[in-house]
Chain A
Amino acid sequence: MYRQAKYDEPLIFELGKKGRRAHLPPRCDFSRDDINIPENMKRITPPDLPELHEGEVMRHYVHLSQMNYCVDTNTYPLGSCTMKYNPKVNETIARSEKMMYLHPNQPVETVQGILEILYELQVSLGELAGLPHTTLQPPAGASGEYTGLALIKAYHYDNSETQRDEIIAPDSSHGTNPASTVLNGQKLIEIKSNEDGRVDMDALKAAVSDRTAGLMLTNPNTLGIFEKDIIEMSNTVRDAGGLLYYDGANFNAIVGKIRPGDMGYDVLHFNLHKTFATPHGGGGPGSAAVCCNDILEPYLPVPTVNHDKDKDYYYFDYDRPKSIGKVHGYYGNIAVALRAYAYIAALGEIGLKNTSDQAVLTANYVMRKMEKIDGLRLSHTSSIPRKHESVLEATPFLRNHDVSGMDIAKMLISRGLHAPTVYFPLIAHEALMMEPTENENKDRLDQYVQILEEEMDKARKDPDYAHHAPKWTSIGRVDDAYAIRNLTLSWKMMKEKQEKQEKQEE
């Protein structure tokens, strides 16, 4: 049984009262009379910050936290998002004083420890990718995509092939692929997937030309299907003069199984959250690593982290005339990279390979069980195994019972389970995208499927039950359209609306 906490928790602004305070900042030695700001630049109205005492702040955030589902609550099989357990030791390590209190502009001789860790992480990631050069600067997966694409663009410009401005990506790709392509000033050529959910080879052959900058391939793709024609695809693009970008968003399925660099891929990005278990933080921070081969190395963002083996000295290399420049103010999300480093060190070679094994096994197990439920079907083909995730379609259920994929998702939430990703990828219908990860054991998966069946049974008998789900969460189903019609995006806008309303009432 599941009951999420429910508080009518006011906004923090509504909780305070003048004269209360929650924290004393460090003491000041100087007279405040000596402050002398140019008259026209003085702040007259202080910001309307809340005034609470320390205990009340704690309560507010405890209340809010208890109205949040997280990976430590229960199964969180969000396909494409990879919600695996975040080892707690990594949180402890990331809070080392020797990590937290390092300014990015400190002399390099005072940061040898962290540079050594970053360098070793680069080497490990390069080893997994089969690509020798790595940057950790991109602060998130999408930024990694952008960086990888920028390397490709820089390469073609450097080789006087500026007309190569087209990136080919399948229609099953994550939305960040097309968005990153456009941010990079390239044109997206989207190619259709075939009925097996793989890239249509004829469409690919028709798409390449002397304008092809590269192929951006997520493999396994967002249906969890491995693009088995990858060699032919690579040759097609390579023959047309394009480069090969391996989107490693789903690398958690193939650790130690294949190495994109070995099969001719030029560049790859990792999402450290997805393969190396860094916490998602309710939306971030993320971190990406971009690995590339020798031909793209000159364009990597500045600075790179290097090691002088003779002197056993780590340093930043800024002297990179062909570099694309910077994608982050400093060197990336270092505290996140440190967690990934610790994860790799804890699991080692065997353990890391096992994570992929178990991620793929649990995905296939739960998929085959769900496929048998009346009203669900596997998208595209049922004849091949999936990798770390699978997409089921609730189309038959919608047709027969007027209960949608979203309704099914909300019913699962009523039972204290997180829903699969709903309505993605866009090439599936009524999609429920399941990614259990290696963090779910067989018992949990059996329980998940059993509860799903129970809820779908209830919906068959009473579709309205489904339409009004979820129950037992802190709030009932929300009205997304209302939020847009009555845009209220801050306390300031709220106050102004209230004042306006009060005036009208007068």
Chain B
Amino acid sequence: MGGNYAHPYLANSKMDIDEMLEYLGISSIEELYSDIPDEIRFKGQLKLPHYQSEFELMEAVKSKLSKNITTREVRSFLGGGVLDIYMPAIQDEILRRTEFYSAYTPYQAEASQGTLQSMFEYQSLICELVSMDVANCSLYDWATGVGEAALMASRITKRTKFVYSAAIAPNREAVLQNYVTGANLELEIVPYDETTGKMDIAKAKVLLDDTVAGIYIENPNFFGIIEDELDEIIEDAHVKGVRVVVGADMNSLALLKPPGEYGADIAIGEGQSIGGGPLNFGGPLLGILAMKYNKKESRQMPGRIVGKTITPNEGEVAYVNTLQTREQHIKRERATSNICTNEALVALSCAIHLTLLGPQGYKESAETMYLSAHHVVKELEKIGVKRVFNSEFFNSFILDLKIPKDKKQEFTQFMLERKIFPGIPHSFDGENYDYIVTTSYLLCEKDLDDFVKAIGEWRK
């Protein structure tokens, strides 16, 4: 890269290299690879691009990315667990502090109190939202959270069946199915009631017995419906020793009773939508996992957990990674999970966001989401467009559009021309598509009305 000059990402010049080689008593770096058998050495030329200057790199990436159309250019009614949010300027100002983002997992606590205290605060903030006692430092996303929760319920109860409500997002269901194959858990599905869209409580009760480790319920569920008749099934689960796992929309908890207050043992959810970060095309996200504290059962949690401690010499408050004997770097094949790297920076981001919102901002954001969705539904009803299920909802609902498979692409285009992402298509019969519509707090009344108008035009 210019004679004796190195690439900016490399620390040593030719002169440095020569000095080190001389110290090692060798004539080239190649000699350090001399123990690799010659027959497996790669001797061809890698088909990789030539190096670029920073300017060239920026321009090249910008040019490719310019082909995308964003949720800030098109009005987005997409949800499903992640949501377009606004990140205050101060939030990224903090996240760009290299002290946070270029640090490793805080193995040396004395030099890492910043990360550790902020993770303790993250855990605490999550516990406040879901009304639980202990949260871990994060999992990858909500979907892997469902898988980890199922495995945890199985370890706690030593049972091998896991039951879940059919009103679950298909991507989370797919990850759940994958995660439990290793442990050979048997999965059973509780159907939803076809008129209310809520979990069928009677059928759930039939499925629960003393072989079931846990039951997973989303609330609001994938159709956006508030599950408001859970008392009976949760009581039944507890009688039968079944752990109750609730997957909550974290924004909804500003208005809805938190899972810890209606009997959930484990709460999970997605932290992106409460400030974890931008959508980023679906990752990185933030898997939330929290539970009621129980001396024995909490030791079955996956992932890192930060605890409060002291320094023995000075008697000062300090924070450390604790309960580490659950983890893979110590317990290897007997660890509670294989997770090592988690989503710490996204958790920090989420903690900053919740702090910025405070109780008032958290509530106001959720109210705007709720009211925007309800405005859309009211206006749509005026032009004769209904929801599939007529139950109470938060900021998401499934719109009865029944668009035939062969018209779906046309509908997408039609909406795109009107600068609208209309929602997530969902088919009940495999032939026709309804749309799961979700409102953030980013769209104003006119945007919402444009959506209603566009749906009206389509139906003409």
Decide if A458 is an interface residue (CB 8 Å cutoff): no
Residues of B within 8 A of A46 (CB): 254, 359, 362-363
A468 to B17, CA, bound (A): 38
B110 at the interface (CB under 8 A from A): yes
**Which residues between 97 and 153 of chain A lie within 8 Å of chain B, taking CB atoms?**
97-107, 110-114, 116-117, 124, 127-128, 130, 139-143, 145-146, 150
B399 close to A (CB within 8 Å): no
A371 to B39, CA, bound (A): 32
Residue in A68, A180, A419, A421 whose beta carbon sits within 8 Å of that of B338 in the complex: A180
B281-302 contact mask (Cβ, 8 Å, vs A): 1 or 0: 1111100000001010010000
Contact indicator B328/A348 (Cβ below 8 Å): no
Besides the known contacts A35-B370, A280-B105, A344-B48, 17 further A-B residue pairs in the complex with CB atoms under 8 A apart: A11-B124, A22-B90, A22-B355, A28-B364, A49-B354, A69-B112, A89-B54, A95-B92, A98-B62, A139-B140, A185-B181, A257-B41, A280-B102, A282-B101, A282-B119, A334-B280, A474-B110
| Chain B: minimal CB distance from A18 (Å) | 9
Interchain CB contact (< 8 A) of A329 among B141, B298, B332, B358: B141
Q: In whole angstroms, what is the CA distance A102 to B65 when docked?
A: 11
Q: A228 contacts which chain B residues (CB < 8 A)?
A: 35-37
Contact (A179, B283) CB under 8 Å given A50-B358, A65-B114, A329-B142: no
- A256, B42: Cβ atoms under 8 Å? yes
- List the B residue with the shortest CB-CB distance to A424: B329
Complex interface residues of chain A between 266 and 286 (CB less than 8 A to chain B): 273, 277, 279-286
Is B235 interfacial (CB-CB < 8 Å)?
no
Question: A residues 452-506 with Cβ under 8 Å of B?
Answer: 468, 470, 473-480, 482-484, 486-494
Given known A117-B64, A358-B10, contact A65–B46 (CB-CB < 8 A): no
- Contact code string A370-407 (vs B, CB < 8 Å = 1, else 0): 00000000000000110100000000000000000000
A390 to chain B, nearest CB (A): 12
Q: Is B322's CB under 8 angstroms from A483's CB?
A: yes
Alpha-carbon separation in the docked complex, A360 to B121 (Å) = 39
A282-B40 contact in complex given A327-B178, A342-B57, A364-B32, C-beta closer than 8 Å: no
The reply to whether A438 and B331 form a contact with Cβ atoms under 8 Å apart is: no
Asked if A25 and B329 make an inter-chain contact with CB atoms under 8 angstroms apart, the answer reads no
Contact call B279/A100, Cβ cutoff below 8 A: yes
The reply on B196 being an interface residue by CB < 8 A is no
Selected A-B contacts with CB under 8 Å, 27 pairs: A23-B356, A30-B371, A34-B374, A40-B257, A49-B357, A49-B358, A54-B90, A61-B94, A66-B114, A81-B105, A89-B54, A102-B279, A104-B82, A106-B71, A139-B285, A179-B331, A182-B182, A256-B42, A283-B119, A335-B277, A345-B60, A360-B29, A441-B11, A476-B313, A483-B322, A491-B128, A492-B133
Cross-chain contact A105 with B78 (CB below 8 angstroms): yes
Judge if A203 is at the interface, Cβ distance under 8 Å: no
Across the interface, A24 reaches (CB within 8 A) one of B41, B100, B361, namely B361
CA distance A231 to B153 in the complex (A): 43
| A355/B110 in contact, CB under 8 A | no
Query: Which residues between 241 and 297 of chain B lie within 8 Å of chain A, taking CB atoms?
Result: 253-258, 277-285, 293, 295
Q: How large is the interface on A (under 10, 10 to 19, 20 to 34, 35 or more residues)?
A: 35 or more
A34 to B74, CA, bound (A): 28
For residue A475, which residues in chain B have a CB less than 8 angstroms away from its CB?
A: 109-110, 113, 311, 314, 316, 318
> Ordered nearest first, which 9 A-B pairs have the shortest CB separation?
A330-B282, A283-B344, A104-B282, A281-B345, A68-B114, A348-B51, A185-B182, A329-B143, A113-B67
> CB of B156 within 8 A of chain A?
no
With beta carbons under 8 angstroms apart, the residue of A102, A182, A333, A346 that contacts B51 is A346
The answer to whether B41 and A35 touch across the interface, beta carbons within 8 angstroms, is no
Partner of A470, one of B11, B110, B179: B110
Given contacts A35-B370, A140-B342, A257-B41, whether A490 and B114 have CB atoms under 8 Å apart is: no
In the assembled complex, which residues on chain B have CB atoms less than 8 Å from the CB atom of A492?
124, 127-128, 132-133
Nearest chain A CB to B444 CB, angstrom units: 6
Contact B11 A438 (CB under 8 A): yes
Given contacts A57-B90, A104-B82, contact A418 B143 (CB under 8 A): no
In the assembled complex, the CB of A497 is this many whole angstroms from the nearest CB of chain B, namely 10
| A99 close to B343 (CB less than 8 A) | no
Is the beta-carbon distance between A361 and B20 smaller than 8 angstroms? yes
B424 within 8 A of A: yes
Task: Report the minimal beta-carbon distance from A397 to chain B, rounded to whole angstroms.
Answer: 19
